[in-house]
Amino acid sequence: MAEKFEPKIVAFLCNWCTYTGADLAGTSRIQYPPNVRIIRLMCSGSVDPTYVLKPLLDGVDGVLVGGCHPGDCHYQSGNYKARRRIIALKEIIKNAGFDEERVWLRWISASEGQRFAETVTKMTEFLREKGPNPMRQKWAV
Amino acid sequence: MDPQPRIGVYICHCGVNIAATVDVKAVAEFAATLPGVTVARDYLYMCSDPGQRLIQEDIKAHNLNRVVVASCSPRMHEPTFRGAGEQAGLNPYLVEMANIREQCAWVHSDRGLATDKAKWLVASVVAKAARLEPLEAREVGVTPEALVIGGGVAGMTAALDIAEAGFPVYLVERSDHLGGRVADLNRIFPTLERVADLLGPLTERVQSHPNITVLLNTEVTQVEGYVGNFEVTVRGVEEPLGVGALVIATGYDVFNPRRKPELGYGQYPNVITSLEMEHRLAAAEESGPEVLAVNGRLPKKVAFIQCVGSRDVQLGHPYCSRVCCMYTAKQSRLVRELLPEAEVTVFYMDVRTFAKGAEEFYDEARKKRVLYRRGMVSEIYRRGERVILAGEDTLLGRPFDFEADLVVLAVGMEPRADAAELSSLLKLPRSSDGFFLEIHPKMRPVDTAVDGVFLAGCCQGPKDIPDTIAQAKAAASSALIPLLRGTVPAESATAVVDVEMCAGCGMCVEVCPYGAADLDALWNVSRINPVLCKGCGACAATCPSKAIRLQHFTPDQVLAQVDALLG
Amino acid sequence: MKTEPITEQLELFGCIQCGKCTGGCPLARKTELNIRSMIYNMLVEPELDVHAHPELWDCTTCFTCVVRCPKDVRPAELIISLRGQLVESGRIPETIGTALMGIFRQGNPNGMAREDRSAWAQGMEIKDARQGCSVLYHVGCIPSYDLRVQPVARALARALTEAGVDFGTLGTDENCCGNEVRRMGEEGLFEMLVEENGELIRSVGADRLVTTSPHCFNTFKNEYGFDDIEVLHYTQLVAELIEQGRLKFTKEVKAKVTYHDPCFLGKQNGVFEEPRAIIKAIPGVELVEMDRNRERSLCCEGGGGRMWVEGTNKEERLAFQRVHEAADTGAEILAVACPFCLLTLVDAVKVQGLEERLKVMDIMEIVNLAL
């Protein structure tokens, strides 16, 4: 372990709230660790289970799903769908012997640039503590 | 069906905005090595005319069939680059953006790490681009009417302009009268005209305009639909109102100084708000200065305290309320005229006179012997019939205990208490201070994240009357764009069903919030109506047999993005 | 001393020089202390001769400046930081040095012997908290040793017993909380106390920690990081016991009472109503308010180490002004809820010759009369 472990995080952000919040973090120049890579989707409700599972299986250290606050979904109820799906998904991940704490679902609005930056910072620190996704080593063997 | 992808990648410097943190040349060199990339370049400003021309010339010269622009947020310039591609004969949905400014250069400072991240962001979008499919642009009709929420100066002005352009407007006002907060004022700066003389004719024009339906004692309870075709439910009106655009002009609340108990408001009769002073000044003009008496005596010393409830981080009001400096200059001048014997002192931390004619008006106030003392009052307590203002004169560097008969607190503005309700009705984001959020504070101060919904007046942030009217007229002209065009672009990235794979379970029908999905009675397979579909993708994510794909965000494209990110 | 490191650390650049800090500072009116101007100096001058400012020891850390600052600058923290420089240099008033040494050696600022710490409870059966209890009572240095304040601790222990509260103390192992230590600028000693006390207090396993003094309450609540222990000032606990009907009064106290809000309880921690609720619940008592109450309560000048240093103006004491304000209400009793306030105001009543008219009592002492 010569090199310090730096987690890789894939973030699926809804276009209307969290993606815009991430943009606001940018326009406000709020600094956060570069460990997160953002993929823009229209709605957190469109996050297919495979979007979460595949990265974890491929050795990504964390998956962040960001949507609008309850009641604020641009498509009325997509975030509630995301919440139900992620809860079920975490259960499946846990039962399959993986670490469900690597999956975070957060509500971050378009005006919460600070909250987005804090979330990424916290998640990065959390995953640094936790260490690499064991699936990385699986492929390395 | 797809020919081999021939992708052009364009890395924008955005002046130094990106280039200072990200090694754009290195990103371009890296991009050139990615599968499917035909040409990769960097340029100072991709959004400039020569930048766009560069893309268009490459499309022709290299026969490009995909374009990736790595620059600012797609929320900023996606329409620009899609338009540029389209002009060069490329389907606009074959242009994709990588956000390396807001989500990379501006939030990281380590050049090495930021450059590395930018590379992977570009790789990810290139991987998606290789799998993009052309989509058909579609248009839908517009209901040629508008609705304005709020009957103050902003709402009335916006309604009048839309009505004058020939479109019917509903003006929804919660109270039983038009005029809003301005109706509470007596005279306005810098002309010292009477409000009644200005507001009366405006209200009269609104009420009598054939295109305006004024709905008093009503409020909006539900908003459905999208730009061009909103359905607005208004309490007290039977049918939902169909309109093509909305203007929000709901105004503000006045700060309640009871939240600063150290100032003794509500406790001492000597301490009043500027709004109460406005009423007293109006009464004094009618019936003489006696109405200004406190504890039965005409005040000999009158003090004004600025920034009460404004510029205060601890209250969650970090902003300047923008009108208090000038209304205090106005009120203090009027007091000097009504009570020539009285000493008038203004305690301030900065005087801000940015409106036209404002600095000149402030000069006049001082010349009329309104004394400005720099230093804020920290607390107020009683001494006999008078009150003591405890503070520091920061220019003298000495604390003072200033005795006064009458103290006017220059209370600022705050978001309306019910702003959260309207925000969730319309899915309208608010900024951290609680006012409604414009798309861009400088470049797009009237537009909101919701297409077809525009902001006017203090619901977006504190402003004076001329700024309010200017924004109201801007909101009206923006609202008129879809009404005048008659059509608006419809979502092209809709969900589609692969009927071969559909098992007819009907889960898509259950999850679709728009009733766009239903089951074909004959074949028992799902059908999605592209006119109703808004492209949220809930059905695609739910479909157990993966028969539904959300176009432009297909699992194939998204997972390719994930793969590319891993390097 | 270079100004920049402190300016950076305390983010003084946020200051807009509005003057609300100095404007509300009770000491600025009687000494050279001007915190607003001090901040400006820090911003514009590269060096500050910290020894040229004896008025730094005038500050009572009442935190009015912190509460009033519209930009969240926390001016009093600058004074604490500059005192830290003085402490480090060793050039501090002798009495401050003695108090700090007393705390270091004997766990209390008066340098009294550790083994005498539980003398206040002589003749009372008080459980050692380590036998297990739901409420840990931190008595505090002054109530443990000072003859005038000991009855307050005794009254509280009696009330808790009568209400059937399962409480205990740490006996002679109790140590100074360090609230004033930090405010006198001795950060190192403070950190040591936080570590030692924190460990000891956590080991008790109590759900709640209750203090006699608002000063102990403040540091335990805000600076110790007790996430799983609810920190209470005794007025909060006693008001709760009265409300729940667990503490019942049997006697009447016929008196007009006014209440002085301690800075560390009121301004700094927003506890305004519970002390008043207790006073109003005592049969026979009529509560009258001074004009300057709650957020505008006038500091008694006992905090931030001022119990052990005179300051640059010994003649005009804020406590003198305060007892006159209390007497002017027509009250017979000036009620307090802080050991420092009790001592400074008792003294002021004597010096001002108000003994015939006004008696200073801790709320707990009045409660004790009615039990």
pLDDT at B69 over 80: yes
Q: Number of structural domains, chain C?
A: 3
CA distance B267 to B275: 17
**Closest C-alpha to A104, from A53, A66, A54:** A66
Domain co-membership, B157 together with B37:
no
State percent of chain C over pLDDT 90. Answer: 99
Answer yes or no: is C62 within a domain.
yes
Residue C96 lies in a domain: no
- Residues C212 and C256 placed together within one structural domain of the fold: no
C-alpha pair distances (Å), A77 with each of B46, B172, B226, C270: 37, 27, 16, 40
pLDDT, one tens digit per residue, over A23-73 is: 999 999 999 999 999 999 999 999 999 999 999 999 999 999 999 998 888
CB C172, CB C102: distance < 8 Å: no
Q: Which of C369, C316, C343 is nearest to C154 (CA)?
A: C369
**Do C298 and C350 belong to one domain?**
yes
Looking at the structure, tell me whether residues C70 and C111 fall in a common domain: no
Mutate to test the interface with A, among B99, B102, B532 (most CBs of A within 10 A): B102
Q: Which of A67-81, B131-145, B153-167, B264-278 has the lowest mean pLDDT?
A: A67-81
Nearest to C71 among B261, B264, B313 (CB): B313
Q: Is the pLDDT of residue C151 over 90?
A: yes
Which run of H or of E encompasses B332?
helix B324-338
Mean pLDDT, residues B250-275: 97
What subunits make at least 3 CB pairs under 8 angstroms with C?
A: B
User: Residue A14 forms beta bridges with which residues?
Assistant: A41
Q: What is the pLDDT of residues B334-380, one digit of tens each?
A: 999 999 999 999 999 999 999 999 999 999 999 999 999 999 999 99
Which of the pair, B547 or B137, is modelled with greater confidence? B547
| A23 falls within a domain | yes
Any domain includes B559: no
pTM above the 0.90 mark? no
- Please say if the pLDDT value at position A1 is more than 70: no
Distance CA A31, CA A25 (A): 8
CA distance B174 to B149: 9
Interface mutation target, options C22, C25, C44, chain B, most CBs of B under 10 Å: C22
Q: Both B41 and B70 in a single domain?
A: yes
Between the alpha carbon of residue A131 and those of residues A51, A106, A136, B9, the distances in Å are: 22, 21, 11, 35
Residue C314's SS3 state is: coil
Chain B, residues 19-58, CB within 8 A of chain C, namely none
Which chain B residue lies closest to A111 (C-alpha atoms)? B431
pLDDT band, very low/low/confident/very high, at B60 (cuts 50, 70, 90): very high
How many domains are contained in chain B?
4
Of C209, C241, C273, which residue constitutes the final position of a domain? C241
Q: Both B295 and B194 in a single domain?
A: no
Cβ atoms of residues B306 and B348 within 8 Å: yes
Q: What was the pLDDT predicted at B137?
A: 84
Query: ∠ CA(B497), CA(B502), CA(B508), 5° rounding?
Result: 65
Q: Does C29 sit within 8 Å of B376, measured CB to CB?
A: no
**Tokens coding A1:** 């372990």
CB pairs under 8 A between A and B: 144
Residue C101 lies in a domain: no
Overall domain count for chain A:
1
The arithmetic mean of pLDDT across residues C205-211, rounded, is 97
SS3 B190: coil
A35 within some domain:
yes
ipTM: 0.94
C164, part of any domain: yes
C184 lies in the same domain as C290: no
Spatial CA neighbour of A118 closest among A51, A64, A79, A74: A64
Give the pLDDT band (50/70/90) at residue B2.
low
Q: Which whole-number Å values give the CA distances from B323 to B155, B277, B352, B467, in the listed order?
A: 19, 15, 9, 11
The alpha carbon of residue B514 is apart from the nearest alpha carbon of chain A, in Å, by 9
Residues in chain A: 141
Q: What percent of chain B has pLDDT over 70?
A: 99
**For residue B504, what pLDDT band results from cuts at 50, 70 and 90?**
very high
Look at B110 and A34 and tell me if their CB atoms are within 8 Å: yes
Residue C30 lies in a domain: yes
Q: Write the residue in B314, B374, B401 that is nearest to C72 by C-beta.
A: B314
- B98 within a domain of the structure (yes/no): yes
Q: What is the per-residue pLDDT for C207?
A: 97
Same domain, C111 and C237: yes
* Residue contact B429–A77, C-beta within 8 A: no
CA pair distance C367, C155, nearest whole angstrom: 8
Residue B257: pLDDT above 80?
Answer: yes
Q: How far is residue A87's CA from residue A90's CA, in Å, rounded to a whole number?
A: 5
For A26, the closest of B103, B110, B511 (CB atoms) is B103
Query: Closest Cα to residue C25, out of B363, B370, B390?
Result: B390
Give the domain extent around C154. 107-241
- The reply to whether C253 and C351 lie within a common domain is yes
Instruction: Annotate C45-66 with b (16+ C-beta within 10 A) or e (fewer).
Output: eeebebeebebbbbbbbbbbbb
Residue A71 lies in a domain: yes
Parent domain of B90 = 7-135
Q: Is B19 on the interface with A (CB under 8 A)?
A: no
Q: Which chains would you list as touching A if contact means 3+ CB atom pairs under 8 Å?
A: B
Looking up residue C17, the CATH number of its domain turns out to be 1.10.1060.10
Average of per-residue pLDDT across B103-118 = 96
Secondary structure letter of residue B102 according to DSSP = I
Indicate whether C289 belongs to any domain: yes
Q: What pLDDT score was predicted for residue B567?
A: 65
Joined tokens for residue B301: 């010393």
Closest by alpha carbon to B526, among B551, B550, B552, B500?
Answer: B500
Whether residue A21 lies inside any domain: the answer is: yes
Q: How far apart are CA A122 and CA B93, in angstroms?
A: 36
**Same domain, yes or no: B128 and B173:** no
C117 and C162 within one domain: yes
**C95 falls within a domain:** no
How far off is chain A from B215, nearest CA to CA, in Å?
Answer: 27
Band (pLDDT 50/70/90 cuts) for residue A141 is very low
Residue B1 has pLDDT above 60, yes or no: no
Please report the beta strands in chain A, taking only residues with DSSP state E, as ranges in sequence order. Answer: 9-14, 36-41, 62-67, 103-107
Mean pLDDT of chain B: 95
> At B539, which CATH number?
3.30.70.20
Same domain, B500 and B477: no
pLDDT given for residue B521 in this prediction: 87
Which residues of A are less than 8 Å from B555 in CB distance?
Answer: 48, 50-51
Q: Residue A111: which of B429, B550, B559 has the nearest Cβ?
A: B429
CB-based burial label for B362 (10 Å; 0-12, 13-18, 19+): buried
**CATH number for the domain that contains residue A100:** 3.40.50
- Domain co-membership, B433 together with B510: no
| Residue at a domain's end among C89, C118, C134 | C89
pLDDT in tens, C127-140: 999 999 999 999 99
Whether C294 has its CB under 8 Å from any CB of chain B: the answer is yes
Token output for A114: 């600070």
Q: Summarize the confidence of residues B414-422 as an average pLDDT.
A: 95
- pLDDT on residue B449: 85
Do C259 and C352 sit in the same domain of this protein?
Answer: yes
Q: Would an 8 Å CB–CB cutoff place A67 in contact with chain B?
A: no
Task: Write the CB contacts of A129 (distance below 8 Å, at least 6 apart in sequence).
Answer: none
Q: What is the rounded distance in angstroms from the CA atom of residue C115 to the CA atom of residue C171?
A: 9
- Contact B396/C at CB under 8 A: no
Q: C262 and C222 in one domain? A: no
- Record the tokens describing residue B327, joined without a space: 């209304």
Both B267 and B373 in one domain: the answer is yes
Residue A126 structural domain: 9-136
Same structural domain for residues C217 and C265?
Answer: no
Answer yes or no: do C263 and C216 share one domain.
no
Q: Cβ–Cβ contacts within 10 Å for residue C173, how many? A: 15
Question: Residue B173 is part of a domain; what is its CATH number?
Answer: 3.50.50.60
What's C176's DSSP letter? -
Is residue B378 situated within a structural domain?
Answer: yes
CATH number of the domain at B131, please: 3.40.50
For residue A1, is it within any domain?
Answer: no
Question: Residue A3: which pLDDT band, with cuts at 50, 70 and 90?
Answer: low
Following DSSP, what letter does each residue of C249-294 receive, concatenated? --S---EEEEEPPPTTTTTTT---HHHHHHHHHSTTEEEE--SS-G
CATH number (domain holding residue C263) = 3.40.50
Q: Which residue's structure tokens are 């709320």?
A: C363
Reference C343, options C110, C18, C73; nearest CA is C110
Say if residue A91 is exposed, middle or buried (CB neighbours under 10 Å; 0-12, 13-18, 19+).
Answer: exposed
Query: Considering C39, C58, C89, which residue would you say is the last residue of a domain?
Result: C89
Tens digits of residue pLDDT in C287-341: 999 999 999 999 999 999 999 999 999 888 999 999 999 999 999 999 999 999 9
The answer to whether residue C339 is domain-embedded is: yes
Do B161 and B265 lie in one domain? The reply is no
pLDDT at B78 over 70: yes
Residue B1 belongs to a domain: no
| Residue tagged 């700066």 (tokens) | B189
Q: Which of residues 104-143 of B touch C (CB under 8 A)?
A: none
Of B84, B102, B135, the residue at which a domain comes to its end is B135
